[in-house]
């Protein structure tokens, strides 16, 4: 205790596009055809040219994100460097608290003790907890303010498969119930509430929720409480989650809720495409959120924007607004690349999605809501959307979803308007659009411009199906439905920057000392 030492890197210099060993294992497990070595961009371009199938897309996404941190790490040096919004004055290794990275020893106590110890530095420049290479089995643990959790590139956090290691928590106030059961929720694997200035980052280390046991119990109807998220941060501000691989979440993977000033960057999320409700990133009643450079393979929506459920969300009244999504790649055969709702009762506004790509995904940007939800979805802007092998390019559904109980208000009708799409390309699409508003309350202000959708050769569907919607189009192929007449006007996309776009990463460095 009290004795200091520097942590010396033993990693040899490597080209920036070598994936970590944990990523290679993951790639081979999900997609056996994945290569084990890609040296540079020329190899990546060759992969894209040779094979547009899912395996190539997965490899490219993983390797690009896996290499993102190479420029931040100085090899053969006692001082490590990384990029973060906030740097820390103190640093420790989880091994200083007795953790053992053998994949068998349960380290819940060590992680909890470490966070508790580091919390004493919150008013003294903050502290960083370093997780070295190894397989670190642990149950749920909480974070603290002015804190960084940093994972080595070959570090794997393994979530315990013993349900007793997952405490119960109350339902979210904007939901009233657990999302899957009337009771409470299992606490997320990594959790924080009422925090400020939290960073979860690394050299593309891995956090594995080992969710299969939860998926099985869900399918077998053996759970009385809602499954846990992999990471949930609530009632907090100034949050950064970056340069990590997140695997096999029991439920929604990344769930910031009631938060402000959130940056999610360079994250790879992987779950089997048939795993239930394994959403990628779910900003929920959050303000000023930036999601960029992420790659997601999921059993549900890759990004799902939320703000509460029926009467509980209406009463809580906290919208999601000022959301940026850029350079996202999504694979989700049964769900959306970006979903707005269905839990949107607190409102969703000012969503800006740019340079987003969906491959083998059910729909691009989807709006889903229902009578009883209330709330609104407005001022949504999508620019530069590319899609390959889709069921729908555009999908809006005014009759979607279940209700938490029978007390929802039939007069609580959602308002949907100001939905803008421009510069859209789709290939091998079964149906261009399914747009269904609410009778008596149509979805209005829909604008689609400069969109070319190539139908799949075997499609027998009409390109467009529209009801209870109003809007305009410009330069759209195939010809839209009569409710969206040609007006030869470009759709809007804001030019002013949001405050979260002005937040820049610093170059930080750290040492490790014994507690």
Q: Which residues are catalytic?
A: 300
Q: Is 132 left (phi over 0), alpha (psi -120 to 50) or beta?
A: beta
Q: Whole-angstrom Cα distance, residue 165 to residue 151? A: 22
Cβ-based neighbours of 101, under 8 Å, separated by 6 or more: 95, 132, 133, 134, 135, 136, 155
Helix (H) or strand (E) holding 295: strand 287-297
Spell out the alpha helix ranges (H) of 283-368: 310-316
Confirm if 246 and 207 have CB atoms less than 8 A apart.
yes
Q: Whole-angstrom Cα distance, residue 392 to residue 36? A: 34
Confirm if 198 and 180 have CB atoms less than 8 A apart.
no
E-strand stretches of 71-224? 80-84, 90-93, 102-106, 127-131, 134-138, 141-142, 147-151, 155-159, 168-169, 185-186, 190-193, 196-202, 205-208
Among 137, 152, 82, residue whose Cα is nearest residue 107: 137
Q: Whole-angstrom Cα distance, residue 78 to residue 6? A: 6
């Amino acid at each position: 205790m009290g004795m200091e030492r520097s942590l010396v890197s033993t990693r040899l210099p490597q080209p920036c596009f070598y994936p970590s060993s944990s990523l290679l294992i993951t790639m081979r497990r999900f997609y056996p055809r994945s290569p084990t070595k890609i040296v540079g961009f020329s190899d990546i371009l060759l992969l894209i040219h040779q094979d547009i199938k899912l395996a190539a897309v997965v490899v490219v996404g993983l390797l690009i994100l896996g290499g993102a941190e190479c420029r931040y790490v100085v090899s053969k040096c006692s001082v490590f460097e990384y990029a973060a919004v906030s740097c820390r004055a103190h640093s420790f290794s989880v091994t200083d608290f007795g953790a053992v990275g053998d994949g068998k020893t349960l380290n819940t106590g060590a992680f909890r003790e470490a966070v508790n110890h580091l919390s004493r530095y919150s008013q003294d420049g903050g502290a960083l907890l370093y997780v070295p290479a190894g397989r670190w089995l642990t149950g749920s643990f909480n974070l603290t303010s002015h804190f960084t959790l940093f994972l080595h590139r070959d570090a794997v956090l393994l979530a315990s498969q013993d349900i007793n290691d997952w405490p119960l928590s109350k339902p979210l106030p904007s939901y009233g119930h657990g999302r899957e059961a009337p009771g409470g929720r299992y606490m997320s694997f990594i959790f924080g509430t009422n925090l400020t200035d939290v960073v979860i980052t690394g050299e593309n280390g891995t956090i594995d929720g080992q969710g299969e046991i939860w998926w099985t119990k869900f399918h077998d109807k053996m759970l009385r409480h809602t499954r846990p998220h992999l990471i949930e941060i609530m009632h907090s501000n100034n949050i950064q989650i970056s340069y990590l691989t997140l695997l096999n979440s029991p439920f929604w993977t990344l769930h910031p809720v009631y938060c402000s000033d959130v940056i999610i960057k360079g994250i790879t999320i992987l779950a089997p495409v048939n795993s239930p409700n394994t959403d990628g990133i779910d900003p929920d009643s959050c303000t000023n959120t930036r999601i960029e450079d992420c790659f997601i393979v999921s059993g549900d929506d890759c990004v799902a924007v939320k703000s509460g459920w029926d009467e509980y969300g209406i009463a809580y009244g906290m919208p999601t607004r000022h959301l940026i999504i850029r350079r996202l790649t999504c694979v989700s055969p049964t769900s959306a690349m970006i979903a707005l709702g269905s839990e949107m009762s607190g409102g969703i506004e000012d969503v800006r999605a740019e340079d987003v790509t969906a491959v083998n995904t059910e729909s691009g940007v989807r709006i889903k809501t229902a009578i009883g939800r209330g709330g609104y979805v407005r001022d949504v802007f999508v620019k530069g959307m590319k899609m390959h092998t889709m069921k729908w390019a555009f999908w809006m559904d005014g009759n979607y979803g279940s209700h938490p109980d029978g007390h929802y208000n039939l007069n609580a009708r959602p308002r949907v308007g100001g939905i803008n799409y421009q510069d859209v390309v789709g290939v091998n699409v079964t149906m261009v659009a399914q747009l269904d508003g609410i009778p008596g309350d149509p979805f209005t202000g829909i604008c689609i411009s400069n969109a070319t959708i190539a139908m799949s050769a075997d499609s027998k569907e009409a390109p467009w199906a529209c009801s209870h919607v109003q809007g305009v189009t410009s330069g759209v192929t195939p010809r839209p439905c009569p409710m969206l007449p040609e007006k030869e006007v470009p759709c809007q996309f804001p030019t002013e920057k949001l405050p979260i776009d002005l937040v820049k990463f610093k170059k930080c460095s750290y040492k490790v000392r014994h507690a």
